Structure 1
Amino acid sequence: MKLKYSPTPLESWVSRFYLSLGIREPNDLVESRIAKALNIFLVYKDVPSMSYEFGRFRSITIDKRLPAKVQRERFYHELCHILRHAGRQIMMPEAFRELQEWDARNFTRYAALPLHMITTFDFKQPGIIEVLSEQFRVTPELCVERLKRIRNRVRYLAV
């Protein structure tokens, strides 16, 4: 039996997007670098994290009271809203807002641990969750979710 992994369209898109920005390895995943490349004003304040767009002005505010790894995850979440969503959530129906939040959580998994980077890791390695958490500077919980999604998409092929 041979393993076959089929990435989701979003997962593939995130890797292509990062590669187009020259982001190839975990150390390249720097919030300020990504924001600058996309002309997004990035600020850290003692307020809840949020994204904002008005015309061509785009900004992401990250709650600096959160732990560093959670701040990073919040950046990816808010980045998704800017890249993939339109409208003001405060004015939209609850079901649509929930769909956007689901999409932002899903995007965060792929943006935090992009496919083109994690394929270099041995997922059977002892302590792989801690290794990924440290390398990508995200919470172990997010790493567990990401690996669980990968395992759910693996197919076994007869050789």
Structure 2
Amino acid sequence: MELYKTTALEDWITAFYRRLKIQHPHQIDENRIARIYGITINRWELPSKYLVNGRFRGIYIDIRKPKNKQREIFFHEFCHILRHSGCQTMMPAAFRELQEWDARHFTLYAVIPAHMLKFIDLNDEYVIDQMVSLFKVTPELCEERLEQIKNRRLSYGYVAENQNKYRISNY
């Protein structure tokens, strides 16, 4: 993807998937990932959450949610287990908000990773439908990721254009 600059988190997720030999969208399997990391997935009719208690690590997913939303919930809670520590109810609000921000971005990048953007035709008028089908997530998440991709391409193009515009000559 021309003029798209990845973030450090996107690069981290790409490296994470490559270690797991995940190269195509159909290989993003939350059950396999959970099994590799020793995480139990529980489905129930209560709000979703994660739990770490000693050596036990579990993700509880609300089965009342649609399947594609459950997938997003898994990756959100997986981020908390993988990247965060501490009890959110006992931490300062700003730190909790930072963890939620990280989990939201982790989810965007984990379900539609940078190294798989090549499988998306960004010029297709039905690109959202294409992304929903390919990555098995909600249209809302696809719209958010697509907007993020477009904005990053625009801002990077602007920076690259201005870098070329204001060159300093060496005497």
Scaled to the shorter chain, the TM-score interval is over 0.9
Could you list the runs of 4 or more consecutive aligned residues of structure 1 that deviate by over 3 angstroms after TM superposition? Answer: none
Give deviations 1:12-41, integer Å, cap 9, x for gaps. 111110111121111111111110011111
Structure 1 residue 106 corresponds to structure 2 residue 84: no
Amino acid at match of 1:80: C
State the match for 2:82 in structure 1: 83
State the match for 1:19 in structure 2: 18
**Aligned residue runs from structure 1 range 32-71, under 5 A:** 32-71=31-70
Structure 1 residue 126 corresponds to structure 2 residue 145: no
2: CA distance between counterparts of 1:80 and 1:40?
12
1: CA distance between counterparts of 2:71 and 2:2?
32
Amino acid at match of 1:23: I
2: CA distance between counterparts of 1:140 and 1:83?
26
Query: 1:56 Cα shift?
Result: 2.3
Percent of counterpart pairs with the same letter?
A: 48
- 2:120–2:130 CA contact under 8 A, matched in 1: no
State the match for 1:92 in structure 2: 91
State the match for 1:4 in structure 2: 3
1: CA distance between counterparts of 2:120 and 2:4?
15
Query: 1:148 Cα shift?
Result: 1.1
SS of the residue 1:132 aligns to:
helix
Query: 1:77 Cα shift?
Result: 0.4
Alignment RMSD, CA only?
Answer: 1.6
SS of the residue 2:80 aligns to:
helix
State the match for 2:167 in structure 1: none
SS of the residue 1:119 aligns to:
helix
Query: 1:102 Cα shift?
Result: 1.2
SS of the residue 1:5 aligns to:
coil
SS of the residue 1:51 aligns to:
strand
List alignment gaps of at least 5 residues for structure 2. Answer: 165-171
Which structure carries more strand by proportion? 1
TM value normalised by structure 2: 0.87
Amino acid at match of 2:20: L
2: CA distance between counterparts of 1:97 and 1:104?
11
Give the length in aligned residue pairs.
158
1: CA distance between counterparts of 2:134 and 2:54?
36
List alignment gaps of at least 5 residues for structure 1. Answer: none
